């Protein structure tokens, strides 16, 4: 498994796991300036942990959709370049703002990821889109934001229960992937278990 | 590839020293397609180099998000409680005064009826004499109060989703606001067991039951919800219990995290569907 520069497996507090270098954010264990990246709390962390080929090498420009409180975004901003973080709910945004204070290349945007025209005047074309939104229409969000990718990668975590709790996750994943193929070539998919139930990790590139 | 005919970047025409205009440009601007903004900003002479551009962008996006958060959070639960109480007062007084208008107007106009439509129509009339002008002025005050109630309803409709996104998705804005008001706040609602949420608004019946004799109420204000009303009386208690459970969870998510969880909608729909299916079997 290749990890991006700036992400390492390190032994922290007696346990070995993913870590990045930066200011601690959510009470994670730290050692020598490195802080644990807990895959149970981060879909992207789980994608790296399960060995998916994310294509990340470090230093990329990133558009992060569904930044929430900034748990994952904080790690991304530690190893990536300029990082645009879109989150629509005010309360998690407050936590995200705290994360952004210590990270000068993290740009928080209180916007709806389904309406990219409201932030396309701020966000430049990026190398990577990371998407973790808990709404229905996750494929639609990815397609709407395809305009920010020339080539590069979409790293998507599909949450089956956000689309439809009553159906089998596998069927939901199939539908989302089929819709996603309208604008992307899917390179790899993998279940994010045991870190996240009913989630599918997807690596795709614009088609 | 700098084509400047399309939508400009957020920084166009701005002075990096002037943070306020940068904040406004970020919040109010738009573009159909992204472009290499950092490079354009440097080429346009808006800023010296890319690194300074990113410093500027960081300062402006943080400030813009802080302000947007503050604005949306001003939509606090306490504001909603005032709004829902003002709405109830407006409606109660409008009803009372509508009767008074109809009674008075009836001495003058044999088509007078006790409803707000009649009051609205009367308020528009051109009075024919001094006496009628009193009645029309009175009617126009009542009509204005009725309009105020409509405005308050629209306000509640718009603001409740910001205060409690999940609760209002499950319950609808008005019922969500009523539950918050009955509990005394979103935090109070989040701390109540779902059995209490089930009978909020039915306190009289509940205490009659606790004193002995009366049956326990099956539902309080959540009766307004289609999941309860649309279920056959036999299963209404189950529906009310299931609904109250999901609404409690929604209130807790709203209070403690504030993030929207659409799966709650489906979980509720699924539960109610299963309860109603008992009728068919």
pLDDT grade for B1, boundaries at 50, 70 and 90: very low
Mean pLDDT value across residues A106-118: 96
Token pair 């639960």: residue: B77
pLDDT at B281 (0 to 100): 63
pLDDT at A91 (0 to 100): 82
In our burial notation (b when 16+ CB lie closer than 10 A, e otherwise), range B169-195 reads bbbbbbbbbbbbbbbebbeebbebebe
- Binding annotation of A for S-adenosyl-L-methionine: 71-72, 87-88, 112-113, 132-135
Would you tell me which CATH number, out of the four given (1.10.8, 1.10.287, 2.60.120, 1.10.3470), belongs to the domain B76-163? 1.10.287
pTM: 0.71
How confident is the model over A66-106, as pLDDT tens digits? 999 999 999 999 999 999 999 988 889 999 999 999 999 99
Query: A122 and B68: CB-CB below 8 Å?
Result: no
Residue positions counted in chain B = 281
pLDDT at A1 (0 to 100): 60
Percent of chain A with pLDDT over 70: 100
How confident is the model over B225-266, as pLDDT tens digits? 999 999 999 999 999 999 999 999 999 999 988 888 889 999
How confident is the model over B162-221, as pLDDT tens digits? 899 999 999 999 999 999 999 999 999 999 999 999 999 988 888 888 888 788 888 889
pLDDT at A179 (0 to 100): 97
Distance from the A71 Cα atom to the nearest Cα atom in chain B, whole angstroms: 14
pLDDT grade for A183, boundaries at 50, 70 and 90: very high
Helix, coil or strand: residue A17 = strand
Of A42, A98, A147, the closest CA to residue B34 belongs to: A147
Query: B58 and A104: CB-CB below 8 Å?
Result: yes
How confident is the model over B99-112, as pLDDT tens digits? 999 999 999 888 88
CATH fold for the domain made of B164-281:
Serum Albumin; Chain A, Domain 1 (1.10.246)
Q: Is the model's pLDDT at A135 over the cut of 50?
A: yes
Nearest Cβ partner of A90 from B32, B36, B69?
B69
pLDDT at B75 (0 to 100): 65
| CATH code for the part of the protein at A42-206 | 3.40.50.150
Mean pLDDT value across residues B139-161: 93
Mean pLDDT value across residues B5-26: 91
With beta carbons under 8 A apart, name residues in chain A contacting B258: 89-92
The mean predicted confidence, pLDDT, of chain B is 91
User: In chain A, what are the domain boundaries?
Assistant: 42-206
With beta carbons under 8 A apart, name residues in chain A contacting B33: 120, 147
Query: B62 and A108: CB-CB below 8 Å?
Result: yes
Instruction: Give B 239-258 residues with CB within 8 A of chain A.
Output: 257-258
Query: A125 and B65: CB-CB below 8 Å?
Result: no
CA-CA distance, B281 to B279, in Å (whole number)? 6
Of B27, B161, B258, the closest CA to residue A92 belongs to: B258
pLDDT at B2 (0 to 100): 46
Token pair 């807790």: residue: B252
pLDDT at A172 (0 to 100): 94
Nearest Cβ partner of B29 from A107, A121, A124?
A121
Please check whether residue B191 touches A, CB under 8 A: no
How confident is the model over A40-69, as pLDDT tens digits? 999 999 999 999 999 999 999 999 999 999
Query: B33 and A105: CB-CB below 8 Å?
Result: no
As for the ipTM of the complex, it is 0.94
Distance from the B26 Cα atom to the nearest Cα atom in chain A, whole angstroms: 7
Q: Is the model's pLDDT at A6 over the cut of 60?
A: yes
Distance from the B271 Cα atom to the nearest Cα atom in chain A, whole angstroms: 10
Q: Is the dihedral of CA A133, A134, A135, A140 positive or negative?
A: positive
Q: How many CB atoms lie within 10 A of CB B199?
A: 20
Distance from the B152 Cα atom to the nearest Cα atom in chain A, whole angstroms: 23
Nearest Cβ partner of A162 from B68, B165, B262?
B262
Tell me the sheet residues that pair with A149.
A126
The mean predicted confidence, pLDDT, of chain A is 94
Percent of chain B with pLDDT over 70: 97
pLDDT at B170 (0 to 100): 96
CA-CA distance, A56 to A40, in Å (whole number)? 20
Distances (CA, A) of B163 to A184, A188, B175, B260: 36, 39, 13, 11
Comparing B75 with B97, the larger pLDDT belongs to: B97
With beta carbons under 8 A apart, name residues in chain B contacting A122: 9-10, 26, 29, 37, 57, 61
With beta carbons under 8 A apart, name residues in chain A contacting B61: 100, 107-109, 122
Mean pLDDT value across residues B75-95: 92
Please check whether residue B43 touches A, CB under 8 A: no
- Binding annotation of A: 71-72, 87-88, 112-113, 132-135
Nearest residue in B to A100, CA atom: B62
Nearest Cβ partner of B34 from A93, A100, A124?
A124
pLDDT at A146 (0 to 100): 97
Q: CB–CB of A189/A200 below 8 Å?
A: yes
Q: Which of B32, B40, B44, B69 has the highest number of chain A CBs within 10 A, making it the mutation to test binding with A?
A: B69
């Amino acid at each position: 498994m290749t990890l991006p520069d700036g992400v390492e497996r390190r032994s922290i507090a007696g346990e070995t796991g993913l870590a990045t270098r930066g200011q601690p954010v959510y009470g994670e264990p730290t050692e020598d300036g490195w802080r644990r990246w807990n895959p149970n709390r981060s879909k992207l962390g789980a994608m790296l942990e399960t060995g998916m080929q994310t294509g990340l090498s470090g230093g990329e420009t990133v558009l992060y959709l569904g930044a929430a409180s900034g748990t994952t975004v904080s790690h991304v901003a530690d190893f990536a370049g300029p990082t645009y973080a879109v989150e629509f709910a005010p309360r998690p945004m407050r936590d995200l703002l705290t994360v952004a204070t210590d990270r000068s290349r993290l740009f928080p945007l209180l916007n709806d990821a389904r309406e990219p025209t409201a932030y396309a005047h701020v966000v430049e074309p990026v190398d990577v889109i990371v998407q973790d939104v808990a709404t229905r229409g996750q494929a639609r969000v990815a397609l709407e934001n395809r305009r920010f990718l020339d080539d590069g990668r979409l790293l998507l975590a599909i949450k089956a229960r956000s689309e439809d709790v009553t159906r089998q996750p596998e069927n939901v994943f199939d539908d989302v992937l089929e819709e996603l193929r309208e604008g992307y070539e899917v390179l790899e998919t993998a279940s994010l278990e045991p870190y996240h139930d009913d989630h599918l990790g997807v690596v795709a590139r614009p088609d | 590839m700098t084509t400047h005919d399309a939508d400009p970047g957020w920084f166009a025409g701005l002075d990096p020293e002037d943070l306020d205009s940068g904040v406004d440009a970020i919040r109010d601007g738009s573009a159909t397609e992204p472009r290499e903004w950092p490079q354009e900003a440097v080429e346009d002479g808006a800023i010296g180099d890319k690194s300074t551009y990113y410093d500027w962008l960081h300062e402006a996006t943080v400030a813009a998000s802080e302000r947007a958060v503050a604005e949306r959070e001003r939509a606090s639960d306490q504001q909603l409680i005032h709004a829902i109480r003002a709405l109830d007062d407006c409606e109660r007084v409008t009803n009372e005064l509508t009767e008074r208008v109809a009674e008075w107007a009836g001495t003058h106009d044999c088509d007078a009826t006790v409803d707000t439509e009649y009051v609205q129509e009367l308020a528009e009339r051109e009075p024919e004499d001094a006496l009628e002008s009193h009645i029309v002025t009175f009617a126009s005050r009542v009509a204005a109060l009725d309009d105020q109630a409509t405005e308050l309803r629209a306000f509640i409709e718009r603001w409740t989703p910001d205060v409690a996104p999940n609760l209002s998705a499950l319950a609808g804005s008005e019922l969500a606001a009523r539950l918050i008001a009955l509990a005394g706040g979103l935090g109070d609602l989040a701390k109540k067991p779902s059995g209490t949420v089930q009978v909020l608004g039915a306190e009289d019946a509940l205490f009659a039951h606790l004193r002995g004799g009366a049956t326990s109420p099956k539902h309080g204000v959540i009766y307004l919800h289609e999941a309860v009303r649309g279920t056959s009386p036999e299963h209404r208690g189950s529906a009310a219990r299931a609904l109250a459970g999901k609404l409690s969870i929604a209130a807790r998510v709203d209070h403690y995290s504030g993030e929207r969880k659409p799966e709650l909608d489906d979980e509720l729909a699924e539960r109610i569907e299963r309860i109603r299916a008992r009728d068919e079997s």
